[in-house]
Amino acid sequence: MTNVSEIMTKDVNVCAPHDSVETAAKMMRDIDCGSIPVCEGKKVVGMITDRDIIINCVADGKDTHDTHCHDCMTTDVITCDPTTDVHECARLMADNQVRRIPVVENGEIVGICAIGDLVKMDIYVNEAGDALNHISEQNHFNH
């Protein structure tokens, strides 16, 4: 059994609730990802995605410099802990249509597990691929 702690990224880039969505978007660009955890200190209070920024800010004509992460973020965040089995993590991604899951221990963020982390392990390629296909199918049909 492989735990999330063995494959997660430990150095996690996060935004604060009062950071601008412009700051979040630049961070996403710089680290080449589509979502960032939003944290008060080390407590995860939300996730902000590139889609959140487009739908809840840009499409409404809001100023990305003056709109804060807490104005656009999702507050219902799916998390796991470092001892979560990677198979369970893949299932969580598929079931919740997410590609990145913050890893939380004792209420504090300690890492993040991305679908790419699962794919890096050959043994999980099929499972991660199934999760990604499910995510992509759901997103395709929802738009």
> How does pLDDT run across 76-111, given as a tens digit for each residue?
999 999 999 998 998 898 888 888 999 999 999 999
pLDDT at 113: 94
CATH number at residue 107: 3.10.580.10
Q: Are 2 and 86 in contact (CB under 8 A)?
A: yes
Q: Is the pLDDT of residue 13 over 60?
A: yes
DSSP 30: H
> How does pLDDT run across 48-79, given as a tens digit for each residue?
999 999 999 999 999 999 999 999 999 999 99
Domain enclosing residue 114, as ranges? 4-141
How sure is the predictor about 26, in pLDDT bands with cuts at 50, 70 and 90?
Answer: very high
Task: Indicate the SS3 state at residue 24.
Answer: helix
pLDDT at 133: 59
Nearest to 108 by CA among 79, 84, 66: 79
How sure is the predictor about 2, in pLDDT bands with cuts at 50, 70 and 90?
Answer: confident
Domain count, the chain: 1
